[in-house]
Each structure stands twice: as structure tokens, then as C-alpha cells.
Amino acid sequence: MKYICPSWLSTFAIILTLTACSDDAYSTLNDALVQSTVVQSESATGTSKALTEGGGWSSSDNQQVIKVVTTEYAIEAPDEMKMGWVQFEFTNKGDQVHFVAMYKLVDGKNIEDQKREVVPAFGTLMEGLRSGELRKKDIGSFLEKNIPEWGLKMTWVGGAGLLSPGRTTHATFKLDEPGTYLLECYVKAPDGQWHTLMGMLKQVIVSNQIAQTREPSPDWEVTLTDSGLNAPAKVKSGKHTIKVNFAAKAPGFMPYDINLAKLSPDTNLEKVFLWMDWTNIGGLRAPAPVEFLGGVEHMNAGKHGYIMVNLEAGRYLWVSEVNANNMYQEFMVE
């Protein structure tokens, strides 16, 4: 069992907690991670792409299937969706790791408001952190001064988690409300620039029509709780439909997500945890230190979603972007 302490700090309450942490706590490891992003190839692991490729879920589960494609630097998806259960069939055709998170904006706001009033502040923030003009203890006050109150009041509904280049994964979640939503990937490019600022932000309108779809039937479950992440320690190889229960409320505006990674014998988990934290200079900066197979993006406590994967034998990792060094669990596939 892992115990949670707030360490992923994107907004005021959670960022203020960060100010109590040392800026130098991970400096040596962070420098090593930044160096590794310059020389490491996303395809270096050589893991079989059959892990996440393959169909069968879409038609058999009677889903509202949405084909989503990422490249450098764009998200391709329909402009409109219906309410109800929706399955993202997510393919990463880019050369960098990507994810596609989905959230509902407050009423009356749209993508242009987000681009004008919210997105630029994060670019300025990272420039300040890289140059040393800002430190982690400054993040809370910086965002309070530079982002309007509505800008951090989105409703996170899910999406497809981190996915390495050349892969396809399936993530299912429910859209409960009509309105204006955004799809976003805020991974950083090798030069440290946010993918969002480079074009990976797309508006989607969810209509008041309800799709006649049904919820998937899971083979097993993973649960994120206040005391850690609970999941089977060992499963069999093959296709799996996995239910992800978000039972814990994360500090701040950013709820938990979950990502699935295939580990190699030399994977350094401390580097993975450091990479998952965007406030680190090398955090979320391509290339990733592991092979990502997808997941379910941020959801509020009490919600659940599904990931469909085809697993071959090996060692794997569940890990959340939020509190990664505590909200994780390794497991084996036989």
C-alpha cells in the first residue's frame, strides 16, 4: 500500500503545498533526466506494438467510437460528440509521446478564451522556471496573478492516457453534460515547449443528444484510493478490458489519471516519477523514459472509465501523473 502526499501541484491549493518542498530535492536526478531526453529515442525500447494494437472492442461493446489521432503537433478528432459512453480509439502517429485529455469549460467560454487568457501563462511560467527567474515556490502566486479564476475550473471527464509513438489504444468514459469541451496534450517537446502551445488543443461540442451505447464489461479493476493504487499483482497475457475506479480526490483542481507502461529491465522508476511531474524542467518532456501503452485521463473522484489493451508477458507499471511517486503499482503479465 502506498501513502499519498501532495507533490504534483498544478493549481493554487496544491501548488501552495509545493512551496514547502525544496527546489533542490531532485536537482541531480532532474538534470540527468533532461540530458536523457536529448539523446533517448522514443522507439528505443523495441517493445512489440501488438501490445495495444488489435480491434474487437469497438463493435462488440456497442460504443460511440471516436477515432482520435495525434501528430506533431495536432489532435485530429470530430468536432461534435453525443452524451453517453464514448470510446476513444486513439492512435499516436507522431514521433513523440502524446495523450488526449478531455475537459469541459465553464459555460460561456471557448477555445479562443483558453488560448488568449490561460495557455500563454504556462509558457511564461516554464520559461521562468528554466531560466531560474522563478522557483517552484513561486508557481502558486504566479498562476494567481496570470490566470483568470474561470481558467482552472474546468470539469475533467477522461480521455486517453500517455501513448508512445506508433501505437493504438482504447479508452472509454462517459460524457454526462452537453457543452464546450477541449481536447489537450500538454506533454513538452524535446526543447521544453508545451505541445498545447504548438497546436495540440482542440474544441469539441457535446450535444444534448444521448448516444444509445452501453457500458463495457470489465475483466478486472484498478482503483485509485486515498491510501494508494490497488490492482492485481499478476494477470494473464491477452486482451483485457480494465475498469479504472477514481475513488480518491486529489488536492487542487487536477484530479488523478492513470497511465500504463511496459517496463524494461533497466527502467529507473525514480526517473519515471520525476518525468511525470511537469513542474520539473525535464517533467513530461519528450522522449518518455518508458514505453507508454495508454490509460484513462483525469477524472473527478467517484467516476470511472475503462482501458482496453492486449498485454504480452512482462513487467508493467500503473502510474498517475498526480503524485506519481506514491500513486503507482507494478504488476506482472504471464
Query: Could you tell me the sign of the dihedral formed by the alpha carbons of 40, 269, 273, 94, in that order?
Result: positive
Q: Are 158 and 99 in contact (CB under 8 A)?
A: no
What are 274-321's pLDDT values in tens digits?
Answer: 999 999 999 999 999 999 999 999 999 999 999 999 999 999 999 999
Q: Round to the nearest angstrom and report the end-to-end CA distance of the chain.
A: 23
CB atoms within 10 A of CB 159: 27
Q: Of 184, 176, 174, 292, which is closest to residue 243 (Cα–Cα)?
A: 174
Q: What is the pLDDT of residue 251?
A: 79
Type of residue numbered 273: F
Q: What is the pLDDT of residues 27-46, one digit of tens each?
A: 545 555 555 444 443 433 33
Task: Quote the CA–CA distance of 81 and 180 in Å, as a whole number.
Answer: 10
Return the number of other C-beta atoms located less than 10 Å from residue 95's C-beta. 16
- Give the pLDDT score at 48: 38
Alpha carbon distance 232, 240 (integer Å): 13
**Phi and psi at residue 145, to the nearest 5°:** -85, -25
Hey, what's the cell of 291?
514505453
Helix or strand holding residue 58 (H, E) = helix 57-60
Q: Which domains does the chain have, with CATH numbers?
A: 12-333 (2.60.40.420)
Decide if 293 contacts 260 (C-beta within 8 A): yes
| Cα–Cα distance for residue pair 213/220, rounded to 1 Å | 21
| pLDDT value, residue 27 | 52
Q: List the one residue out of 272, 268, 273, 262 whose CA is nearest residue 295.
A: 262
Joined grid coordinates for residue 191: 526543447
- Which residue's C-alpha cell is 464514448? 86
- The candidate with the shortest Cα–Cα distance to 115, out of 206, 184, 161, is 184
All three cell numbers of 239, joined, read 486482451
2 by DSSP, 3-state: which? coil
pTM, to two decimals? 0.87
Angle between helices 27-39 and 269-276 (to 10 degrees): 90
Q: How far apart are CA 123 and CA 278, in angstroms?
A: 12
Q: Which residues contact 22 (CB under 8 A, 6 or more apart)?
A: none
pLDDT tens by residue, the chain, 334 residues: 443 333 333 343 344 344 444 454 445 455 555 554 444 434 333 333 434 444 445 444 567 999 999 999 999 999 999 999 999 999 999 999 999 999 999 999 999 999 999 999 999 999 999 999 999 999 989 999 999 999 989 999 999 999 999 999 999 999 999 999 999 999 999 999 999 999 999 999 999 999 999 999 999 999 999 999 999 999 999 999 999 999 999 977 789 999 999 999 999 999 999 999 999 999 999 999 999 999 999 999 999 999 999 999 999 999 999 999 999 999 999 9
